[in-house]
């Protein structure tokens, strides 16, 4: 198991992107969170098996109406989540990406 942090820019807010990401994560049994950032990017924190996380990242590109311009990903310290949830509103986290 590992945890990755993903920051995505492009047209990814107000297009149903977070719901699409949660659907993909739930289907793949990936746990974590997805939230909008104040600057228009989306932040994802996801925990799962390495091969499943790779599939998760590749499937995110298929979300309809979203246009991903840049996706930055890094491995972070393992975090345990019960499920995959959407954090409403805009989070003010500092990302290393």
Is residue 96 a contact partner of residue 44, using CB atoms and an 8 Å limit?
A: no
Write out the DSSP string of 32-59.
EEEEE-TTS-EEEEEEE-HHHHHHHHHH
Give me the catalytic one of 11, 22, 23, 36. 36
Give me the catalytic one of 11, 18, 41, 69. 18
pLDDT of residue 74: 97
Is residue 31 a contact partner of residue 81, using CB atoms and an 8 Å limit?
A: yes
Cα–Cα distances (Å) from 18 to 22, 53, 89, in that order, read 6, 17, 11
Query: What b-and-e string marks burial along 7-36, b requiring 16 or more CB atoms within 10 Å of the CB?
Result: bbbbebbeeebbebbbebbeebebbbbbbb
Domain boundaries, the chain: 2-87
**32-74 confidence digits (pLDDT tens):** 999 999 999 999 999 999 999 999 999 999 999 999 999 999 9
pLDDT of residue 16: 96
18 is catalytic: yes
Count Cβ atoms within 10 A of the Cβ of residue 87 and give its class: 0-12 exposed, 13-18 middle, 19 or more buried.
middle
Q: 2-87, which class in CATH?
A: alpha beta
Note the pTM of the prediction, 2 decimals: 0.91
């Amino acid at each position: 198991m590992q945890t990755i942090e993903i920051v995505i820019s492009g047209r990814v807010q107000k297009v149903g992107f977070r719901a699409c990401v949660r659907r993909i994560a739930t289907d793949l049994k990936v746990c974590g969170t997805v939230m909008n950032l104040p600057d228009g990017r989306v932040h994802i924190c996801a925990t799962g098996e390495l091969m499943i996380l790779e599939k998760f990242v590749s499937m995110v590109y298929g979300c309809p109406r979203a246009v991903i311009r840049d996706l930055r990903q890094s491995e972070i310290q393992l975090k345990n989540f019960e499920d995959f949830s959407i954090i409403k509103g805009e989070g003010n986290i500092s990302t290393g990406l």
